[in-house]
Amino acid sequence: MAGTDTADATAVPFDPFELKDVVSGTIRDPFPRIHELRRESPVHVGPIDLGEGSDISNPNRPLPVTVFGFDEVVQVLRDNETFSSSVYAGVMGAVMGRTMLQMDEPEHRIARAMVSSTFRSKVLERWEGDLVAVVVNELIDSFIERGRADLVREVTFNFPAQVIARILGLPRDDYPAFQRWAIELTSVAANWERGLAASAALRDYFAGVMEERRSAPGDDLISELVQAEVDGTKLTDEEIYSFLRLLLPAGVETTYRATGNLLFALLNNKEQFDALYDDRSLYAQAFEESLRWEGPVTVILRRATRDTELAGVPIAAGADVALLLGAANRDHRKFDDPDHFDMFRAVRQHVGFGFGVHVCLGMHLARMESRVAINTLFDRLGRFTLDPDAPAPHIEGMAFRSPLSLPVVFDAR
Ligand code: HEM
């Protein structure tokens, strides 16, 4: 259990935080400007500049549309015939391959059905104790004696990649390479060549693993994928590579940032930290509130398939539509005092996991991973607090948001 192979489990062959371009942008608080723009109109046509990476204009396409309102975001996601997911083919198709994220119905339904049984909450229970808790305990073992740690570098950044690696049944010696490819693939927007090279390396790597699992299936996701069948159809090798590559940005980057955001909120709200510490049954509402308040994924995309309108604003066929999930989750018309983190608030519905047919496939896994991480930190570190001798952390970034460090102190037990 805890304490075995610690050096291997935590080894990352380079310090990703040294590579500024893989981490995130530097915008600290886009919300005052977002509130201003939403008050003008929940739907804007034309370029919007909220800082780095936020302008999706393309001179070859109709003017882009940006949606800031909660109800309007839900309306778009509900109408997946007018608003297509095919927009992702151009953005990520070249690196990820063809994934369910870019498919429309009915193709999407079949692709999702092939893999969805693995992500049902019941199935995840088996991963909880003997997989996620083990990973988190090992990470904690490596710093507990010190009485202080940076929870981003030493826990949240490392555990989701290791959890995915274990779910895929990868050998331990391969973790450092896998984590590096995961980081390089996820940061493809910052370095295209490096992202493509990682994508090719992952394909070759997975090809070898799949061959092994075909001849000797195990209790892991890759073994399930090579055998999966819906309506008599099996997944092709290319479809499996694409899905496995999608799991990295979809399942690693998001969970690490979401767990960091919840920890940040708790560390800066002592009463809510204590409430959760004393009553772990509050976890579900604490996590959902942190996704509303600072979700790691702030924007998703769609493309209009025909001329239409939203909140009275005309949208041209072919226009790219940016749905600002972060803005929708702080819509004054839906939430009282939306900039405030409050896990006891009455309205808890949010769009941090998206909505409709493409709603996050990994949401039960993300909730479970984050719960196990936070409970294990509570159990092992006690009531940890921000390190008074370290600079106060902050959340930053635009498309992805989270703190880059969370220095804490605790009485080691
Ligand atoms: C807190 C963590 C997470 C957040 C905030 C998040 C957010 C999202 C969002 C917003 C979407 C919708 C994208 C769209 O409609 O354009 C999505 C889809 C998806 N997510 Fe997550 N995600 C998280 C964790 C995970 C995990 C752990 C996995 C799997 C290991 C995962 C796998 C997926 C997949 C496969 C899709 C595509 C579903 C489809 O197209 O039908 N996600 N996620």
* Residue 353 beta carbon below 6 angstroms from any ligand 1 atom: yes
Question: In what helix (H) or strand (E) does residue 167 lie, and over which residues does it extend?
Answer: helix 159-167
Q: Look at strands 320-324 and 65-67 and give their pairing.
A: parallel
Query: Is the pLDDT at 165 greater than 70, yes or no?
Result: yes
With bands split at pLDDT 50, 70 and 90, how would you rate the model's confidence at 23? very low
Q: What is the pTM of this model?
A: 0.90
* Residue 393 beta carbon below 6 angstroms from any ligand 1 atom: no
* Residue 182 beta carbon below 6 angstroms from any ligand 1 atom: no
Asked whether 263 and 150 are in contact (CB, 8 A), the reply is no
Q: How many CB atoms lie within 10 A of CB 298?
A: 24
Q: How far is the CA of 382 from the centre of ligand 1 (A)?
A: 31
Residue of minimum CA distance from atom 43 in ligand 1: 360
**Average pLDDT across the chain, whole number:** 87
Query: Is the pLDDT at 337 greater than 70, yes or no?
Result: yes
* Residue 260 beta carbon below 6 angstroms from any ligand 1 atom: no
Which ligand 1 atom lies nearest to the CA of residue 367?
Answer: 1
Which ligand 1 atom lies nearest to the CA of residue 100?
Answer: 40
Which ligand 1 atom lies nearest to the CA of residue 300?
Answer: 16
CA distance 393 to 390: 8
CA distance 91 to 108: 18
Asked whether 190 and 22 are in contact (CB, 8 A), the reply is yes
pLDDT tens-digit profile of 274-311?
Answer: 999 999 999 999 999 999 999 999 999 999 999 999 99
Query: Is the pLDDT at 59 greater than 90, yes or no?
Result: no
Q: How far is the CA of 348 from the centre of ligand 1 (A)?
A: 19
Q: How far is the CA of 354 from the centre of ligand 1 (A)?
A: 8
Task: Say what angle helices 237-248 and 87-96 make with each other, to 10 degrees.
Answer: 100
Pocket test for ligand 1, best of 92, 291, 320, 361 (most atoms within 8 A of CB): 361
* Residue 358 beta carbon below 6 angstroms from any ligand 1 atom: yes
With bands split at pLDDT 50, 70 and 90, how would you rate the model's confidence at 4? very low
Asked whether 258 and 291 are in contact (CB, 8 A), the reply is yes
pLDDT tens-digit profile of 65-115?
Answer: 999 999 999 999 999 999 999 999 886 787 888 999 999 999 999 889 888
CA distance 76 to 217: 41
Which ligand 1 atom lies nearest to the CA of residue 255?
Answer: 2
Q: Read off φ and ψ for residue 67, nearest 5 degrees.
A: -110, 125
